[in-house]
Amino acid sequence: MSTLDRLKQLTTVVADTGDFNAMRAHAPRDATTNPTLIVKAVSKPEYRPLLEQTVSAYPRESPADLCDRLLVRFGREILAIIPGRVSTEVDARLSFDAQATVAKARRLIELYAAEGIARERVLIKVAATWEGIHAAERLEADGIRCNLTLLFAFPQAVACADAGVTLVSPFVGRIYDWYRKRDGVDYAGDDDPGVRSVRRIYDYFKKFGYETEVMGASFRNTGQILALAGCDLLTISPELLDELSRSDAAVPRKLDAEAARQMHVDRVRFDEKHFRFDLNQDAMATEKLAEGIRAFVADAAKLEEMVSAARRP
């Protein structure tokens, strides 16, 4: 068995890509996308027809609406390959507008329904801002499942779980990047701040019986992935999936729900003022959340530019 096969026995493996060939090669259960990954995909010749077909089919729609249709088109193609769910992201420009986030998410679900895709196979990705979390709470109440992304701090995770969201995606690699730059240390294994962050969230959720799933994301190396074996889900890039598939190393369980239930952990709650204050006190989380939103906004704008360019004669 490969290391990837062994990992799949302990954790649900998710493909972090918009590349259909990578999904076929590694047979993940779920897949995640974001504007960055879609921009990367449609820049390749083999995926260019999806962009062109979408633009030509809806000549009177705005670039923003065409981008929504393109995201759903990618999602439809992905769901023809994988057996599980695809995550599709709400425009990051709406990260601080709960009402607009809810409206955009409902629109994406409508577009999926028009393609014959049941909402149970779609996770709507929303940035884990205070507004995003409460938008997700409203969406979950309507039966629309959500994946809260750009999650860097414990208060974000707790607020998500208390809101009843389906899944959270703590960003291991970006946390690691920040501390590595600050401290000048190449953290590894149990000492990796990104790994420790996910473990804390996982243990807390299992201790108090939350149904919210934990999906480690944004990995820099396979060591970070293997240090979280046993996590509910791990979303992994094609490059690291390839590396795991070529290895035959053992994969011991690192996270265990039963062990977490036996831990002594204090329960906490975050209202808006405490959420904002605690997040502000965490320099890493504050910087990385803002940086992540800016990056996704830039890629959303880039995708709109590609759509606009494709419709020109």
What amino acid positions are annotated as catalytic residues? Answer: 125
Do the Cβ atoms of 14 and 30 come closer than 8 Å? yes
Sign of the torsion formed by the C-alpha atoms of 249, 250, 256 and 262? negative
Which amino acid would we find at residue 2?
S
Do the Cβ atoms of 262 and 21 come closer than 8 Å? no
Distance CA 68, CA 89 (A): 9
DSSP states of 2-19 as a string? -HHHHHHTTSEEEEESS-
Distance CA 133, CA 156 (A): 8
Cβ count within 10 A of residue 27: 15
Distance CA 197, CA 24 (A): 31
- Cα–Cα distances in angstroms (integers) from residue 149 to residues 22, 112, 225, 260, in the given order: 22, 21, 18, 23
Tokens at residue 97, please?
């507008």
Distance CA 232, CA 34 (A): 21
